[in-house]
Amino acid sequence: MKKEFSIYLDLMRFVAALLVVVYHSNVRLIIADKVPFSSHGHAAVIVFFVLSGYVISHMAATREAAPADYWASRLSRFYSLTIPAVLLCPLLDSWGEALAPRFYGDRTTHDLAWLRIVTSLAYLNEIWTVSIMSFSNVPYWSLCYEMWYYVLFAITVFMRGKVRLWLGIGVAAMLGPKIMLLAPIWALGVVLHRHPALARMPPWLGWTLFLASWPLYGLFQHYGLTEYGSRLLLRLIGEKWHHQMAFSKFFITDYLLALIIAANFIGFRAVAHRFAAILRPCEKIVRWLAGYTFSLYILHQPLLQFYAAVFDGDPLGSLFYAQVMLATLLSIVVIGHFTEHKRHHLRRWLRRLLAARQQPAGSLT
């Protein structure tokens, strides 16, 4: 992967995570006014899915070509942070609600805590018509999609013959329609990485796709096509099934959005070298920020609510919002330093464990 393109993807990853944070900060009773750029939360998740498919495909083709390497990296990436996040979230919710209940109300859940913890750690919160909220941590839903995309990708890449076919069908059947409906979006990232014709794109076409993707995204947001897709699905399947679709109810127009994002990525890849003078000097700061992306994404919502309860300020002013946001971001840096940034220890341990248990060709692990 060209360095300029890698820097760009890291920058997009951080910006997408920040947009999700801004979106949730605007609906958590910590500020009365509408915050700029607070309508891009769902679109940012689609960016993550396309980008994840691309990066995972790249890693599997280079540094993670063996199943043990692949799974050691994927599991350490998730569990280094999801274990502390899942265990910390109910504590933060309980403490925060005790301090200032008005910031919680129907925004969190407490019942069946053991079930929420188990399903969250097994990434089973969103299979079929189930939608189990991981306490106040609503963004956790996307991890329960992405982990299974990792599994399906591993089955496709590392297995062969009838075993691959039937295991893939079995996993898809277990997951149900919600997760599988967004799987093509994640797989689009894989196609962008692996399709040979896209790798030989002429610069003029790269410029066209890259430059056109921005106004196309602007039009998509301006006309509210995400919500339009949800309303269209509601008319097609009725209120009951629409509700059951939970976070996949936007899938109709999510496909269009994914194509716009794909055009941006693949177009920029063809002309990335033209941005060397801009991106290379920014590499260190971009890499540092990107290093906290997962922590930022998965920890922000329970921390936002907790610090809102701690400061218990006036949402009509900007000082309260600034206090909550600053405390949240500083906490994420501290927690991320001891979790996400230390995952290499877990990765090494998993690599040794998986290598020792390595099965002959045809095995997932």
* pLDDT value for 291: 94
CA atoms within 13 A on the CB side of 83: 10
Given a cut of 70, whether residue 268 has pLDDT beyond it is yes
Given a cut of 50, whether residue 263 has pLDDT beyond it is yes
SS3 346: helix
> pLDDT (tens digit, 9 = 90+) per residue, 302-347?
999 999 999 999 998 899 999 999 999 999 999 999 999 999 999 9
> pLDDT (tens digit, 9 = 90+) per residue, 273-311?
999 999 999 999 999 999 999 999 999 999 999 999 999
> pLDDT (tens digit, 9 = 90+) per residue, 38-95?
999 999 999 999 999 999 999 999 999 999 999 999 999 999 999 999 999 999 999 9
Task: Give the DSSP letter string of 191-207.
Answer: HHHH-HHHHT--HHHHH
* pLDDT value for 362: 47
Length of the chain: 365
Percentage of residues of the chain with pLDDT beyond 90: 88
Range in 25-34, 75-84, 195-204 the model is least confident about = 25-34
Mean pLDDT of the residues in the chain: 94
Please state whether 66 falls in left (phi above 0), alpha (psi between -120 and 50) or beta. beta
Task: Give the DSSP letter string of 289-336.
Answer: HHTTHHHHHHHHHHHHHHHHHHH---TTSHHHHHHHHHHHHHHHHHHH
> pLDDT (tens digit, 9 = 90+) per residue, 123-149?
999 999 999 999 999 999 999 999 999
Predicted model pTM? 0.94
CA 361 → CA 68, 77, 197, 337, distances in Å?
12, 25, 30, 37
Q: Decide: 88 and 57 in contact? Cβ < 8 Å.
A: no
Percentage of residues of the chain with pLDDT beyond 70: 97
* pLDDT value for 26: 85
**Which residue type is seen at 248?**
S
Q: Where are the domains of the chain?
A: 3-106+185-229+257-356
Range in 111-115, 162-166, 190-194 the model is least confident about = 111-115
Model confidence band, residue 111 (pLDDT cutoffs 50, 70, 90): confident
Instruction: Give which of 228, 183, 245 is closest to 46, Cα–Cα.
Output: 183
